[in-house]
Amino acid sequence: MSNQSFHPPVRTLMGPGPSDVNPRILQAMARPTIGHLDPVFVTMMEEMKDLLRYAFQTDNTLTMPVSAPGSAGMEMCFVNLLEPGDKAIVCQNGVFGGRMKENVERCGATAVMVEDAWGSAVDPHKVEEALKAHPDAKVLAFVHAETSTGAQSDARTLARLAHEHDCLVIADTVTSLGGSELRVDDWELDAVYSGSQKCLSCTPGLSPVTFSERALEVIKNRKHKVQSWFLDLNLVLGYWGGEGKRSYHHTAPINALYGLHEALVILREEGIEESWARHAKNHQALRAGIEAMGLSFIVKESERLPQLNTVTIPEGVDDARVRARLLEEYSLEIGAGLGALAGKVWRIGLMGFASSRKNVLFCLGALDAVLGDLGAPIQRGVAVETANRVYAG
């Protein structure tokens, strides 16, 4: 065992997350640690809540970061809204819909599954049928941007259907927040969670969440205690609640929150719609280069996430070998497929600070070189030039 300091290599992170962290954020995280109840820190907390409202496009009072990764944000939504005996309709079109089902069942509730093929968006017609068949359902839960497949579902339509049937909406926006259109208030989403390490370009470990007044009313009128002490909003709000005196709930990750605050300042400086447009443009250039090589995407264009690209692995190519060579020779990380897509696709992320022209061209050039050297059936030497034509307009 080494007793020396750890010095990680410099990587270009173009997998499904974490993404490259903006140097400004790393610098922010190195600032002096102060107490989590320090008046100066409390002022920063209020600023962060306002910045998160901008990112989510909401006026929800209860908007804050959970002191844990996106999976804890997911759990917070489910354990606060569901009680034993409740029923939730859960949409699954990838890995993370399955995790929603686990959360529902651990709350003592029943999960009614609406399943779609991996790589497809959630089908609103199936959802409507499920809502009609289960009028006693309390919640409709879905993944807006399915990280395991790169498919994006129509959150606005799904939420409208839910409210027509008196259901609350839980939406996973871990990969969409900051990277593609998300309008919590306009779309009437009730409980929304995300992660700090994707399109916000912060380090992993924090989960932004926001809750509507409808959701808060349900939480305040529960019959049973929330099964998780740490994630019980009735307790957490004593610390993250309104302005003024804060009660101790847990020791917040001070320096990580500095980083998230800086990430949100950067997003505000760029502009949320400009960030969405940047991610879309870089996806268009990557797509052009990938297709020029002769590779294809598994998600149809109308349902495709710009920030998470699932590319079909060419016939006869060893998935792990390609990713290993990219890491060893180029210090470039792309992601493997999960579940049903393992060994069949690569997941190429264009998230946050990593979503840049430089990274798109670097990734295409590295893929071209490695695949060409392995004798893969691709069109060599055209990907970078094709992508550049997209940037040239």
Q: Which two tokens stand for residue 250?
A: 């847990």
Q: How far apart are CA 67 and CA 341, in angstroms?
A: 31
3-class SS at 7?
Answer: coil
pLDDT-flagged residues of the chain (< 50) = none
DSSP 3-state percent helix, strand, coil across the chain (nearest 5): 45, 15, 40
Q: How far apart are CA 94 and CA 142, in angstroms?
A: 10
Residues carrying CATH 3.90.1150.10, the chain = 272-392
The helix (H) or strand (E) run that includes residue 222 is none
Q: How far apart are CA 38 and CA 246, in angstroms?
A: 10
Which is nearest to 180 in space by CA: 210, 145, 205, 204?
A: 145
Backbone phi and psi for residue 69, each to the nearest 5 degrees, phi listed first: -70, 175
Look at the alpha carbons of 286, 288, 292, 295 in this order and tell me if their dihedral is positive or negative: positive
The answer to whether the CB of 383 falls within 8 A of the CB of 368 is: yes
What is the structure's pLDDT at 120?
97
Q: How far apart are CA 303 and CA 247, in angstroms?
A: 44
Residues carrying CATH 3.40.640.10, the chain = 23-269
Q: Which two tokens stand for residue 243?
A: 């302005």
Q: Which two tokens stand for residue 76?
A: 């917070």
Q: Which two tokens stand for residue 108?
A: 């003592």
Q: How far apart are CA 89 and CA 100, in angstroms?
A: 10
Q: What is the pLDDT of residues 89-147, one digit of tens each?
A: 999 999 999 999 999 999 999 999 999 999 999 999 999 999 999 999 999 999 999 99
Which is nearest to 15 in space by CA: 361, 291, 259, 309?
A: 309
Those residues whose C-beta lies under 8 Å from the C-beta of residue 357, and which sit 6 or more positions away, are: 282, 285, 391
What is the structure's pLDDT at 72?
97
Which is nearest to 350 in space by CA: 86, 13, 6, 93?
A: 13
Q: What is the pTM of this model?
A: 0.96
335: left (phi over 0), alpha (psi -120 to 50) or beta: beta
Which is nearest to 77 in space by CA: 215, 265, 204, 182?
A: 215
The helix (H) or strand (E) run that includes residue 171 is strand 168-172
Q: What Rg do the C-alpha atoms of the chain give, in angstroms?
A: 21
Domain 272-392, architecture per CATH: Alpha-Beta Complex (3.90)
The answer to whether the CB of 109 falls within 8 A of the CB of 80 is: no
3-class SS at 81?
Answer: helix
What is the structure's pLDDT at 248?
82
Look at the alpha carbons of 13, 184, 300, 277 in this order and tell me if their dihedral is positive or negative: negative
Size of the chain in residues: 393
Correct CATH for 23-269 of 3.40.50.1110, 3.40.640.10, 3.30.70.3190, 3.30.565.10: 3.40.640.10
Between the two ends of the chain, the Cα-to-Cα distance in Å is: 54
Q: Which two tokens stand for residue 391?
A: 């940037």
To the nearest 10°, report the CA torsion of 199, 200, 203, 205: -90
Q: How far apart are CA 200 and CA 178, in angstroms?
A: 6
Q: How far apart are CA 212 and CA 58, in angstroms?
A: 9
The helix (H) or strand (E) run that includes residue 377 is none
The answer to whether the CB of 300 falls within 8 A of the CB of 118 is: no
The helix/strand count (H/E) of the chain reads as: 14, 14
Q: What is the pLDDT of residues 47-98, one digit of tens each?
A: 999 999 999 999 999 999 999 999 999 999 999 999 999 999 999 999 999 9
Peptide bond into 18 cis (omega under 30): yes
What is the structure's pLDDT at 242?
63
